[in-house]
Amino acid sequence: MPTLRRAWLMSESLGTTVQFELQLMGGFCLRHCGQAPGLIVISSKKARVLLAYVAMQEPMRASRERLATLLWPDRVDRQVRQNLRSCLASLRADLASFAEDLLTIDAETVGLKNLRVDAHYFRGPGAATAAADFEDAAALYRGQFLSDATLEGEEFCAWALAERARLDAGAGSALSSLVSRADESGDAGRAVELASRLVAIDPFREDWLRLSLRVSARHLGRDKALLQARSFVELLRKELDVEPEAETIDLIERLKAGSGVPIGQRNIAAAAANDEPSLPREAAEESVMHPRRPPGVRRAGRSILTPAIVAAALAFFLAYLGVVYGPGIPHQLSRSAAIADQSSIPLLLSPFQSPQSGSADLARDLTEEVLTSASRFSGLTVIDGRAPASGAPSVLRARYWAQGSVVRRGSSIRVHADLTDLADRTVVWAADYASDGDSGGDVAIARRIARDFQVQATYAAAQGLDDTKLKLAPLNQLIAKALTIQYRGPAPGEDAAALYEEILRRDPRSAPALIGLAARLVESSENLLRERKSTLMRAGQLIQQALQIDPRIERAHYWLGNIYLQRGQRDLALRAFDRALEINPSFVPAEAHAGFALVLLGRADEGLRRIKHALDESAHDPNERLWLRFAGIAQLELGEDKQAIMSLLEAASLGPPAPPLRAALASAYALTGDRVQSREQFRLLKMAADSTALDQLLNIAAIHQDSRYWQGLRLAASDTL
C-alpha cells in the first residue's frame, strides 16, 4: 500500500470505522468514502467553520456554548443559541442521510465520528519521523490550514492562525528533511522543487531560506542563489524593515566569495535561450505569497482550489458506470484519429451528480455542457462516461477520470469538480465554482470547468517525466510536459522547444508539436528576446503546416493571431482569435487576445470588456498574468492610469516580470509623472530585452502618436536614454 495513505488508514487498522474524510489543508473539502463515495457540499460558511473547529479538537467534540461564542462573538445569548440551531439545521440538511453517521449532537455538545482529517497528520510529537512519513506529509500538505476561509471574529482568528502556524511548522519540518535527503542523494530536481515549496510556506523563515540557498547554489549555480538571496533581503526590508539574521548574512557572504558552500558548475538561468531571463523560480513563488498583493482588475466568481482526498476504487467505478448510468451517445470528436490517439490525453468524463432530487435536470444539462466544451480542446480525447457498460474498453483506455457534483440554492448554483489519475487512483486536482443566478450561469461554469480539466490534465500528465524517461514517453506525455513548461515557466534544465523537436523527430506530422514549436518562437519574439521578423516568419511556416494537417485546431488559429498581432496586422489578428473561439468557445486565451487586438485598434472600451470577461471566465488560468497586462494597457488608453498600475502590479505579483510587462509599467509610471519608477522599469526592460527587439519596439512606439500607452513608453525611453 502506498505510504501516502498510511496515517489516514491507521484508524481502520485500529478497528475504527471511517466513512468520511475532511480536508482542511489548502481548503475545505468533505467527502463520503463508503459505498457511495463522493463530495458532500456544505453550503453554509459557518457550518464549514464549525466542522473544522470540532474536527481539530481532541476528542472531536466541543460544547455548544464554546461554538456559539466562537462563531457569533458579537451577538446576545438568545440570538447566539438560535444562530447555532439554524447552523446545525443547515448542516444536517446538507448531510442529508449521512447526518447520523457523522454528527453526534446532544443538549450540551456537538461532536463528529467516523471521520479522518488530513490536518491531524501534522500535529503532535513525532508526526513525521521516517522517510516515508516525510513523503506522506509533503503529499498531504496542499496549502495552509483553511486557506479558503474568511477569518472573522477575534477569538476565531486567533485560534485559526495558531493552528495554521502549528501545522505549517509540522509540514515545513517534513519538507526540510526531504530537501536535505534529496540534496544529499544528488536528486537535483527533487531538491529544488521541495526547497521552493518549503520557502513558499513561510517566505520569512530564515532557516528554511538558508537551506534553499544551499540547494540553489549546489544545483543551479551561485548566480541563481545570489538572486534569490537578494530578493529575500529586499522582501525583509520592504515588509518588516529588518536585516537578515547573522547566519543568513554569513551564508550570503560565503556565496559571494565562493567559499565554504558547494557551488554548482552550471547557471541554469542562462541555459534556455528562449526563456525569460528574470528572477529565479524561487523568487517567483515568493512573489505569489507576497502579503500585500495589489487588487488590480476585479474578477468575480474565482474558483477555489480544494484538492480532494481519496478517489473511489477503479473497479467499483467501472461497475458503477454499468449499473447507474443509462445508455448515452458518446461524443464524436472532430480531430483526426491519429492526433486523438497519439497526441492528446484520454479523459473519461462521468455524469455530474446532485444530492438534490430536484436538481437532476441541472446536473444532466451541466454534464452535457462540460462534455461538449471539453471535447473541443485539441489536447483532450474525451470519453463519454454516460455510455453503457459495453463501453468498458474505452473506459480502460482513459488516463484521467473527471467528475463533479452540483447543488442549487435558490437562484445560485454551486459546483464541485475533480480529476483523478486512474493509474494510482489519486485525486490530482479539485475546484469549487459558483454562479449567482446570472443568465447562462451554468454554461459559463461548464466552460470554466472544461478549460480547467484541459489545463489540469496537462499538468498531471507531465508529472514525473524527466530526462531519463523522454525516449520511452508517449507523445501525449511529451506534449503535456512541453505545455506545462509554457504554462508555468521552465524549471531548471527544462526546454519546451527541445521536447517539441523530439516529438517531431518521431512524428513529423504532429500538429500539436508544430504549433507548440511555433508558440515558443512567438513567445520569444513577443517577450523581446529575439529579433522579430525572421522569428515570426519561421513560426508562421510551422502554423501553416499544422493547419494543413488539421484546420480545426483552435490553438493553431490562436497562435496565428499572435503572429498577426506582432506584425501589426490587427484586423487579421482579431479575425484569427475569433476563428479560434468559433471552433472552441471555451478557449478563453483567444477571448483575451481578441480584446487586446481591439485595444490596439483603438476600441479600448470594447477590448477591456473582453479581457475582463476572460479573467472572470477562467480564474487562475496560466495566462492570467498576460491578461492583466492587457487590461493595464487598456486602462492606460482609457485614462485610468492608477487602476492600470494596479493591474500591472498584480500581473507582476504572479511571477517574474517579462520585458513587455516592464515596458507597460514604465509607460504607466511615466504617464503619472513617477519618473523614478519609470526610469527603473525601463532600465530593467533594457537589461532583459534583446537590443534589436527593443529598438523595434521603440520604432513602433514612435509611429503610434495617438496611443497613450505608446506615448508613455516614449516618455520613459527619452527620460532614461
Per-residue pLDDT averaged across 490-517, rounded? Answer: 88
Are 409 and 356 spatial neighbours (Cβ–Cβ below 8 Å)? no
DSSP state letter for 466 = -
Q: Is the pLDDT of residue 143 over 90?
A: no
Residue 304 in 3-state DSSP?
strand
What pLDDT score was predicted for residue 440?
64
The arrangement of secondary structure in 623-721, i.e. its CATH architecture, is Alpha Horseshoe (1.25)
Cα radius of gyration rounded to whole Å, the chain: 26
The reply to whether 305-459 and 623-721 are identical in fold is no
Is residue 342 left, alpha or beta, with left meaning phi > 0 and alpha meaning psi from -120 to 50? alpha
Is residue 36 left, alpha or beta, with left meaning phi > 0 and alpha meaning psi from -120 to 50? beta
Q: Is the pLDDT of residue 1 over 70?
A: no
Q: Is the pLDDT of residue 303 over 70?
A: no
pLDDT tens digits for 63-105? 988 898 888 887 666 778 888 988 998 898 888 888 999 999 9
What pLDDT score was predicted for residue 137?
64
Q: What is the mean pLDDT of the chain?
A: 79
Q: Is the pLDDT of residue 11 over 50?
A: no
Which residue type occupies 411? S
What pLDDT score was predicted for residue 356?
79
pLDDT interval class at 211 (50, 70, 90): very high
Residue whose C-alpha is closest to residue 347's, from 234, 433, 429, 226 = 429
Q: Name the least confident of 249-263, 473-487, 495-509.
A: 249-263
Q: Name the least confident of 89-103, 320-334, 390-404, 494-508.
A: 320-334
pLDDT tens digits for 418-461? 998 888 778 888 888 887 765 566 788 899 999 999 999 999 99
- Which fold would CATH assign to domain 305-459? Rossmann fold (3.40.50)
pLDDT interval class at 118 (50, 70, 90): confident
SS (H, E, C) 331-380: CCCCCCHHHHHHCCEEEEECCCECCCHHHHHHHHHHHHHHHHHHCCCCCE
Cell triple for residue 283? 523568487
Are 561 and 573 spatial neighbours (Cβ–Cβ below 8 Å)? yes
Query: Cell numbers 468524463 label which residue?
Result: 349
Report phi then psi at 383, rounded to 5: -105, 125
User: Which is higher by pLDDT, 528 or 575?
Assistant: 575
Q: Is the pLDDT of residue 226 over 80?
A: yes
Per-residue pLDDT averaged across 131-138, rounded? Answer: 58
Half-sphere exposure of 148 (CA within 13 A, CB side): 21
pLDDT interval class at 561 (50, 70, 90): very high
Q: Prior bond to 59 cis, omega within 30?
A: yes
Q: Is the pLDDT of residue 490 over 60?
A: yes
What pLDDT score was predicted for residue 493?
73
Cell triple for residue 420? 483523478
User: Which is higher by pLDDT, 200 or 262?
Assistant: 200
pLDDT interval class at 488 (50, 70, 90): confident
Domain-wise residue ranges, the chain: 3-140, 186-288, 305-459, 623-721
Count other C-beta atoms under 10 Å from residue 282's C-beta. 28
pLDDT tens digits for 602-640? 999 999 999 999 998 877 788 998 999 999 999 999 999
Per-residue pLDDT averaged across 225-236, rounded? Answer: 86
pLDDT tens digits for 149-194? 765 677 888 888 888 888 888 888 888 888 888 888 888 877 887 8
pLDDT interval class at 544 (50, 70, 90): very high
Per-residue pLDDT averaged across 484-511, rounded? Answer: 86
Alpha carbons 261 and 267: distance in angstroms, whole number = 16
Per-residue pLDDT averaged across 368-378, rounded? Answer: 92
Alpha carbons 519 and 514: distance in angstroms, whole number = 9
Q: Name the least confident of 196-210, 328-342, 587-601.
A: 328-342
Half-sphere exposure of 624 (CA within 13 A, CB side): 23
Alpha carbons 358 and 31: distance in angstroms, whole number = 22
